[in-house]
């Protein structure tokens, strides 16, 4: 049985140190570009999920969960670096992005290095024999495919709901699902409970992305910590715009012909109720998550943390 001797606060702090250590242990050539990223750690929702899913009935966590959580967060950082390149973003988490600071080519290489470092971190788990069924590379593949699908559909103003959900199921939800899966394995959960926790993670990730779509419309840049109302300008199609086009198909043609300004898009989304529609869709997944949590009979610190993460995803809380 896995040794469990960490409470959540101690485990979470160790994840922060592990993530910083992965960057600090990089070769000097890489570290010269990435060292500042140790100050860019965000809410670390995925790490918190991994730790919570590994908890026993006393709220204690095994060290393997810390290893998994730090790998997940490092992979997440790598995907953000690549996202910023594709979006030509200048700011992330209140800091100048790596691609803005050092150039796109350097950022691509550094993102690739962090991806490799995340996968290597997984090998440090102490009970590797027990994790043979866990192929984290499949989640990485899903993230990559989701990003590629988004890129292929860049400026596809006729993108439908089904195809958009397929994009975010990979781009965002896959890593959430992987984080919950890793934690459940580290916690030695049953196959049935692992399946439910994976689904909880996947749905939480979908909620997170749908809420983020709304934040791009509703929240100021200062509060969001990144550029807002920028999705349309970058050719990224999100759920509020998809709904606006469904209500007024002429928007797609106008956008294709370059006749829509950012302000006009914003007004069309508000007029169509695109934000409300997206929030309601997130709400349907939220209800599914509550049902899963009931079936899992979660309690104590585990319920508090996973429930809190669900609320943060649904409400866009900092």
> What mean pLDDT do residues 184-195 have?
95
Residue 22 has pLDDT above 50, yes or no: yes
Task: Supply the pLDDT for residue 224.
Answer: 46
204 has a pLDDT exceeding 70: yes
State the chain's mean pLDDT as an integer: 89
pTM equals 0.91
Three-state SS string across the chain, please?
CCCEEECHHHHHHHHHHHHHHHHHCCCHHHHHHHHHHHHHCCCCHHHHHHHHHCCCCCCCEEHHHHHHHHHHHHHHHHHHHHHHHHHCCCEECCEECHHHHHCHHHHHHHHHHHHHHHHHHHCCCCCHHHHCCCCCHHHHHHHHHHHHHHHHCCCCCCCCHHHHHHHHHHHCHHHHHHHHHHHHHHCCCCHHHHHHHHHHHHHHHHHHHHHHHHHHHHCCHHHHCCCCCCCCCCCCCCHHHHHHHHHCCHHHHHHHCCCCCHHHHHHHHHHHCHHHHHHHHHHHHHHHHHHHHHHHCCCHHHHHHHHHHHHHHHHCCC
């Amino acid at each position: 049985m896995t040794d469990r001797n960490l409470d959540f606060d101690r485990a979470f702090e160790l994840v922060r140190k592990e993530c910083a250590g992965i960057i600090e242990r990089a070769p000097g050539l890489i570290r010269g570009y990435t060292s500042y990223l140790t100050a860019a750690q965000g809410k670390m929702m995925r790490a918190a999920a991994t730790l919570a899913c590994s908890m026993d009935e006393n709220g204690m966590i095994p060290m393997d969960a810390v290893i998994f959580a730090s790998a997940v967060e490092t992979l997440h950082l790598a995907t953000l670096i690549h996202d910023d390149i594709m979006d030509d973003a200048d700011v992330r988490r209140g800091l100048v992005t790596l691609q803005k600071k050092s150039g796109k080519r350097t950022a691509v290489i550094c993102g690739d290095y962090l991806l490799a470092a995340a996968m290597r971190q997984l090998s440090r788990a102490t009970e590797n024999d027990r994790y043979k069924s866990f192929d984290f590379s499949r989640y990485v593949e899903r993230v990559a495919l989701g990003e590629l699908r988004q890129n292929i559909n860049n400026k596809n103003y006729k993108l439908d709901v089904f195809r958009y959900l397929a994009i975010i199921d990979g781009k965002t939800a896959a890593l959430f699902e992987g984080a919950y899966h890793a934690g459940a394995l580290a916690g030695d959960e049953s196959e049935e409970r692992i399946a439910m926790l994976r689904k909880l993670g996947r749905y939480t990730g979908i909620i997170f992305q749908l809420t983020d779509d709304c934040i791009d419309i509703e929240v100021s840049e200062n509060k969001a910590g990144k550029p807002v109302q920028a999705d349309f300008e970058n050719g990224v199609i999100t759920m509020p715009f998809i709904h606006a086009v469904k209500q007024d198909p002429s928007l797609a043609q106008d956008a294709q012909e370059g006749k829509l300004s950012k302000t006009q898009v914003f007004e069309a989304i508000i007029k169509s109720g695109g934000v409300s529609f997206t929030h309601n869709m997130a709400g349907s997944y939220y209800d599914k998550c509550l049902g899963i949590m009931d079936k899992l009979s979660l309690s104590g610190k585990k319920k508090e943390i996973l429930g809190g993460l669900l609320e943060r995803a649904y409400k866009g809380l900092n």
